[in-house]
Amino acid sequence: MTLRLHNTLTGRKEDFEPLEAGHVRMYTCGPTVWNYAHVGNLRAFLFYDLVRRHLRVSGYRVTHVMNLTDIDDRILDQAMHARTTIEEYVKPYAQAFFEDMAALRAERAEHYPRATEHIPEMVDMISSLIEHEYAYIADGDVYFRIDSFPRYGELSHLDRAGLKAGVRVATDKYEKESVSDFALWKRSHPEDEEIGASWDAPFGKGRPGWHIECSAMSKRYLGDTLDIHAGGIDLMFPHHENEIAQSEAANHKTFARVWLHSEHLSDATGEKMSKSAGGFTTLRDLVAAGHDPLAVRMFLIANAHYRSRVRLSPEALHAAAEQVRRLREFAERLDRTTPAGEDDHALARRTAEVRAGYRDALDDDLNLPQGVGLVFDHLREANAALDAGRVGPLNKDALRALLSDVDAHLDVIRAEEPGLAEEVERLIAERETARRERDFARADRIREDLKSRGIALEDSKDGVRWRRLRPAERS
Ligand SMILES: [Zn+2]
């Protein structure tokens, strides 16, 4: 089966083929680092990770870009309040984002561009839009003229007449030709300068709007046309609609060939989780309540298909933790087992069917929950075969291969990064040597180095032991 993905643009599942053979260019909207990411955000970020992993499993090289929005009205307000610069204000939240991603075992993207580091690219794009009359200056702000882009609304399938008549898209207070025109650039106020949130541009001092970031940064790293653009469903309108308008008006090329959108996560009451609505939960909150980040990962990617809503609850997290435990226990049991003299042919056939079924489920618009369901059903049969001593050498290899197929997406079975234990043990031995030689500075450096990688050392009467720091313990 070939990989099929549901493209929001056409509303259908389509065979996926990148523009350049063997290489996928993917852009995904990242966090606004004004605060900690909430679990709803994390669901979208882990969805990106699933797409990325399955593309790699399918044999593609992936260039994945995920932006960090480090300029935004909320960031300006908070920095002003805290009497600091926006750069200082966002630092801990940007770091927390990377820590959360590591704790959740999201693979690293190839690029994490920050908006404030790509202002010249945004200024260039805005200049070109003004020059070709897709944009205009009003009272120091620059707006995109939606009337100049007839395809506006195609992604979200919205009615342009309705949009014009009523919906107020932006909350900007200044003079616009039409209520739905959106800001590309916002003029500076005197206090913006002090917090480092003001840049020079031919059309006046100011700062970029949110939407132009993604258009300018995706072009910088991936070119005019992306194979895949992904985001949470709440970004489809107006954010993604605006990205398309800006990029296609500026580049005269298709912006993104496939659009993928992941659904909301709702809180215990069934309401969409969002920061503006108040009650949001972070990974830190869940870890503090005793949940394992890997159970959170399992829940967010495997509990429901990415295009279905899912509700966060302690019960669902406990069920996910139990799934992780069962997978690990099976993997360990399999490793310990001495194979029987002969293989069980029925088991071999079933294992091969489940491997194929798992792959088909993933190829069918990333249906991980269905694939994982097949695997859990099969574990019952495999455990029974282990009980009966019917697992032969080829059976064992095939079951191992099945687990490794599954863990290519789930990544919850392996205990630690490969080679990590050996490296930590080596550093512990080095530290012991340093201490014996009374080189305490060096011993402390090794401990600090390990801590920065999320490893804590504990001296006990049996020697030095190490453990992973929980996210809340990292500082
Ligand atoms: Zn974006």
The tens place of each residue's pLDDT in the chain, 475 residues long, gives: 799 999 999 999 999 999 999 999 999 999 999 999 999 999 999 999 999 999 999 999 999 999 999 999 999 999 999 999 999 999 999 999 999 999 999 999 999 999 999 999 999 999 999 999 999 999 999 999 999 999 999 999 876 655 554 444 444 445 688 888 999 999 999 999 999 999 999 999 999 999 999 999 999 999 999 999 999 999 999 999 999 999 999 999 999 999 999 999 987 666 776 655 556 899 999 999 999 999 999 999 999 999 999 999 999 999 999 999 999 999 999 998 999 999 999 999 999 999 999 999 999 999 999 999 999 999 999 999 999 999 999 999 999 999 999 999 999 998 766 677 778 888 888 998 999 999 999 999 898 888 877 788 887 766 787 877 765 565 5
Instruction: Kindly state the tokens that stand for 10.
Output: 């056409």
What pTM does this model have? 0.86
C-alpha 396 – ligand 1 centre gap (Å): 45
C-alpha 262 – ligand 1 centre gap (Å): 14
In this prediction, residue 217 carries a pLDDT of 98
Beta strands 256-262 and 206-208: pairing type? unpaired
In this prediction, residue 1 carries a pLDDT of 74
C-alpha 286 – ligand 1 centre gap (Å): 27
C-alpha 242 – ligand 1 centre gap (Å): 9
C-alpha 66 – ligand 1 centre gap (Å): 9
Cα distance between residue 98 and residue 52, in whole Å: 17
Identify residues whose C-beta is under 5 A from ligand 1, the ion. 29, 214
Condensed to tens digits (0 to 9), the pLDDT of residues 417-463 reads 667 777 888 888 899 899 999 999 999 989 888 887 778 888 776 67
C-alpha 122 – ligand 1 centre gap (Å): 13
Torsion angle of alpha carbons 340, 343, 347, 351, nearest 10°? 100
Cα distance between residue 177 and residue 308, in whole Å: 38
C-alpha 243 – ligand 1 centre gap (Å): 7
C-alpha 174 – ligand 1 centre gap (Å): 24
C-alpha 284 – ligand 1 centre gap (Å): 25
C-alpha 240 – ligand 1 centre gap (Å): 6
Instruction: Kindly state the tokens that stand for 35.
Output: 């605060």
Q: Residues 6 or more apart from 421 whose CB is under 8 A from it?
A: none
Q: Name the nearest CA neighbour of 25 among 84, 85, 66, 74.
A: 66
C-alpha 211 – ligand 1 centre gap (Å): 6
C-alpha 234 – ligand 1 centre gap (Å): 11
SS3 label, residue 60: coil
Condensed to tens digits (0 to 9), the pLDDT of residues 105-159 reads 999 999 999 999 999 999 999 999 999 999 999 999 999 999 999 999 999 987 6
**Chain centre to alpha carbon of residue 54:** 14
What residues form DSSP beta bridges with 12? 7
C-alpha 218 – ligand 1 centre gap (Å): 9
C-alpha 355 – ligand 1 centre gap (Å): 36
In the chain, what are the domains? 4-262 (3.40.50.620), 311-410 (1.20.120), 420-473 (no CATH)
C-alpha 118 – ligand 1 centre gap (Å): 14
Vertex 418, ends 412 and 419: CA angle to 5°? Answer: 150
Vertex 64, ends 62 and 66: CA angle to 5°? Answer: 170
C-alpha 238 – ligand 1 centre gap (Å): 10
Determine if residue 365 is left, alpha or beta; phi over 0 gives left, psi from -120 to 50 gives alpha, anything else beta: left
Q: Are 126 and 144 in contact (CB under 8 A)?
A: no
Determine if residue 190 is left, alpha or beta; phi over 0 gives left, psi from -120 to 50 gives alpha, anything else beta: alpha
C-alpha 227 – ligand 1 centre gap (Å): 15
